[in-house]
């Protein structure tokens, strides 16, 4: 179908590859699942095999792994102090998983796992859930004090508490929507411009000449989107 | 819903062009059918029918990823970094220890040099003192012997002078006796002559 080619939404469609149904709920292995597995395999293999020599003086690839590790570690230490380092495996996994998923999504015809709101929302809920669980586990009900800023006049307190609670609850939504919308919009824009190139290219010499502009745009957007995925995982930072 | 509403609007406004409207209807119908082919015809990321599967597979893959990261990859990278830091720290320690050793060796060398210098100076000054003392002693001895010789010579001179002077008296007496004998032909007693000589010598 000709419309299929330039349909910018088509790339987000989830197709069943192996239909699985348990208890009337659809748990099929889809292309989304396939790329989650691909993300898992690619990220793990990269981190595993680049560090397999355990060189004292790292090569390029080993440096990439080490820099990722140290970058996330320093980010976490700055953000949460040395107490936060017990969440390091979680933050590192999240960071690498999202980064790899985003990078894989940049490959043409590949599915972008993080363009599905349910995925980003689940990850954000996971983070917030961990914060809540650990907060209540560590401080009990005293954890609720985070909603009561110190040094606020008594009259303003109900208002401030309400604002704090709302901002806390809206955080998973804002985080997940940020990543999801970035991925979605980036890929749709890319697809639309790339579609222009293909459509104009079929119109003869003038069309090919005219296609240069969207082609440049496509290249530029690919560069932009490739640099963005590395910053995207930071969106999940609290 | 939106598509059908738009279609309804287009049919009311462009009622005359039924053919076009029909074409539009066909087009929209294919569009709906096309979208419907993927699921319930909503925007794919909001298609709730895929949520359960995505959540399950996300849980499986991310769970596995978390396990692999926390059990295999992160200890390994952490180990590499730790080994490197340890090696660097150990090398730095070695370097500073070597430097300390070198410093100690230099200090010991300096100390020995100073001691050797002091010893050399001491030997030199002792030798100089000894030489000086010997020279002084020699000079003193020479002076003493010279003084002795001088005084001996002086004593002898004085002795000779006394003797000579004494001889002078005897010679004068003899000469006077001889002169008197020759002049007056008589004998003069020795005592007289002696007193006369003495009186003239004064």
Give the DSSP per-residue string, A119-145. Answer: HHHHHHHHHHHHHHHHHHHHHGGGGGG
- The answer to whether the Cβ–Cβ distance between B45 and A12 falls below 8 Å is yes
Q: What is the largest CA-CA distance in chain A?
A: 73
pLDDT band at residue B153 using 50, 70 and 90 as cut-offs:
very high
For residue B184, pLDDT over 50 is answered with yes
Of A15-29, B9-23, B126-140, where does the model show the most confidence? B126-140
Task: Give pTM, 2 decimals.
Answer: 0.64
pLDDT of B87: 92
Q: What is the pLDDT of residue A229?
A: 52
Of B185 and A227, more confident: B185
Q: Is the pLDDT score of A224 beyond 90?
A: no
Cβ contact, residue pair B61, A115, below 8 Å = no
Q: How far apart are the first and last CA of chain B?
A: 182
At A96-110, the pLDDT tens digits run: 898 888 888 888 788
Q: Is residue B23 very low, low, confident or very high in pLDDT (cuts 50, 70, 90)? A: very low
Instruction: Report which listed range, A150-154, A182-186, B57-61, B185-189, is most confident.
Output: B57-61
8 A C-beta contact, residue B73 and residue A51? yes
Is the confidence at residue A237, as pLDDT, over 70? no
Task: Please determine, for residue B128, whether its predicted confidence score (pLDDT) is greater than 90.
Answer: yes
Q: From CA A197, how far away is CA B148, in angstroms rounded? A: 136
Q: How would residue B143 be classed by pLDDT, with cut points 50, 70 and 90?
A: very high
Nearest to A13 among B44, B52, B77 (CB): B44
d(CA B69, CA A75): 18
Radius of gyration of chain A (CA): 22
Angstrom distance (rounded) from CA B96 to CA A42: 44
Contact A126, B111 (CB under 8 A): no
From first CA to last CA, the distance across chain A in angstroms is 44
Q: What is the pLDDT of residue B190?
A: 77
pLDDT band at A212 (very low <50, low <70, confident <90, very high): confident
Maximum mean pLDDT: which of A5-9, A222-226, B104-108: B104-108
pLDDT higher than 50, residue A138: yes
What pLDDT is recorded for position B41? 64
- CA separation for the pair B6, A238 (Å, rounded): 43
B interface residues, A as partner, C-beta within 8 Å: 31, 34, 38-39, 43-47, 49-62, 64-66, 68-70, 72-74, 76-81, 83-84, 87
Using alpha carbons, select from A123, A122, A104 the residue that is nearest to residue A183: A104
Alpha carbons A54 and A89: distance in angstroms, whole number: 20
Domain boundaries, chain A: 2-236
The alpha carbon torsion through B47, B48, B54, B59 (nearest 10 deg) reads 150
Q: What's residue B3's pLDDT?
A: 43
Rounded Cα distance, B183 and B186, in Å:
8
Asked if the interface predicted TM-score (ipTM) of this complex is over 0.90, the answer is: no
* Minimum distance, in Å, between the CA of residue A215 and any CA atom of chain B: 27
Chain A residues with CB under 8 Å of B79 CB are 54
pLDDT: is B123 or B182 the higher one?
Answer: B123
């Amino acid at each position: 179908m000709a419309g299929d080619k330039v349909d910018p939404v088509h790339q987000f469609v989830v197709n069943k590859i192996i239909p699985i149904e348990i208890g009337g709920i659809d748990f099929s292995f889809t292309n989304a699942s396939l790329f989650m597995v691909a993300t898992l395999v690619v990220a793990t293999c990269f981190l595993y095999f680049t560090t397999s020599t355990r060189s004292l003086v790292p090569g390029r690839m080993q440096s990439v792994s080490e820099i990722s590790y140290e970058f996330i570690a320093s980010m976490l230490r700055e953000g949460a102090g040395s107490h936060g380092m017990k969440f390091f495996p979680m933050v590192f996994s999240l960071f690498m998983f999202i980064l790899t998923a985003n990078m894989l999504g940049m490959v043409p015809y590949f599915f972008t796992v993080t363009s599905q709101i349910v995925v980003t929302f689940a990850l954000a809920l996971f983070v917030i859930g961990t914060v809540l669980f650990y907060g209540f586990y560590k401080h009990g009900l005293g954890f609720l004090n985070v909603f009561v800023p110190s040094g606020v006049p008594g009259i303003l307190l109900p208002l401030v508490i309400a604002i704090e609670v709302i901002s806390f609850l809206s955080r998973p939504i804002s985080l997940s929507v940020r990543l999801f919308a970035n991925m979605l919009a980036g890929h749709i824009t890319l697809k639309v411009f790339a579609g222009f190139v293909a459509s104009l290219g079929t119109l003869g010499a003038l069309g090919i000449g005219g296609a240069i502009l969207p082609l440049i745009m496509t290249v530029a957007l690919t560069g932009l989107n490739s640099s963005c995925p590395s910053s995207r995982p930071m969106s999940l930072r609290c | 819903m939106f598509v059908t509403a738009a279609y309804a609007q287009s049919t009311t406004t462009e009622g005359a062009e039924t053919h076009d409207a029909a074409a539009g209807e066909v087009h929209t119908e294919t569009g709906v059918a096309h979208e419907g082919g993927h699921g319930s015809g909503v925007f794919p990321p909001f298609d709730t029918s895929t949520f359960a599967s995505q959540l399950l597979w996300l849980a499986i893959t991310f769970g596995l990823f978390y396990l692999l990261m926390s059990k295999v990859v992160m200890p390994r990278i952490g180990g590499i970094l730790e080994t490197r830091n340890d090696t660097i720290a150990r090398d730095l320690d070695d370097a500073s220890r070597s430097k300390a050793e070198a410093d100690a060796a230099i200090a010991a060398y300096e100390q020995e040099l100073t001691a050797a210098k002091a010893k050399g100076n001491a030997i030199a000054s002792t030798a100089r003192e000894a030489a000086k003392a010997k020279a002084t002693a020699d000079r003193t001895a020479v002076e003493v012997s010279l003084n002795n010789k001088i005084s001996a010579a002086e004593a002898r001179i004085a002795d000779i002078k006394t003797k000579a002077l004494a001889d002078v008296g005897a010679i004068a007496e003899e000469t006077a006796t001889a002169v008197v004998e020759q002049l007056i032909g008589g004998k003069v007693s020795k005592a007289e002559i002696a007193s006369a000589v003495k009186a003239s010598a004064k």
